[in-house]
A and B are shown apart, each in its own frame.
Chain A
Amino acid sequence: KAGVTQTPRYLIKTRGQQVTLSCSPISGHRSVSWYQQTPGQGLQFLFEYFSETQRNKGNFPGRFSGRQFSNSRSEMNVSTLELGDSALYLCASSLWSGRIADTQYFGPGTRLTVL
């Protein structure tokens, strides 16, 4: 079974631009979560989607948004990019079988550089 895939793997943007990142979960997985990793703040939760609905949201400004499609694929968008948005963005998927918690499987990440 294919793992979580993320595109693109690398991205360079300039301040003020916007960017869209894509994540395809493991087949059959219905929950997708996004995380930002920076050297200063570590790994931080952005948001989680399940059945096209945002279930949880981390403490990030409104410039960060996301959505999930009917096939469970997810996109996240960052508008008006700032230098501090340079980071590794990781996507994770889980089965969400109805248990309280499930194993999270991570994709390879998208490394975003803002100049």
Chain B
Amino acid sequence: GIQVEQSPPDLILQEGANSTLRCNFSDSVNNLQWFHQNPWGQLINLFYIPSGTKQNGRLSATTVATERYSLLYISSSQTTDSGVYFCAVETQGGSEKLVFGKGTKLTVNP
């Protein structure tokens, strides 16, 4: 099946810093989503981005489908950005709905 790798596994920032999270995937995808998991476990949908670039406030994402990677940019980070960020993909004809990476744990210190 498809492999999804996220990097870095852990990231510690000072408030106000910028960061880039990466997601590599091993096959063509129909769906790619970025999620933020809050401390209570809820997965918050950030972007649905199988290709192209999207922006939402301080967050933006880019997926280069032909090169099989996606990037999530966080600018001017805040302590509330802390948590785990997951990339998940769905493939055409795949037996699984969404395949998740292992996540990037982000800690933003005041």
Contacts and interface: CB of A to CB of B under 8 A. Distances in A.
A99 B43 CA distance: 23
B81 to A, nearest CB: 19
B31 A33 contact: no
B69 interface: no
Interface string A2-23: 0000000000000000000000
Contacts of B48: 103
A104 B103 contact: no
Contacts of A105: 45
B97 interface: yes
A37 B31 CA distance: 20
Contacts of A37: 41
B56 to A, nearest CB: 13
Contacts of A102: 31
Interface of A: 33, 35, 37, 42-45, 48, 56-58, 88, 90, 92, 100-109, 111
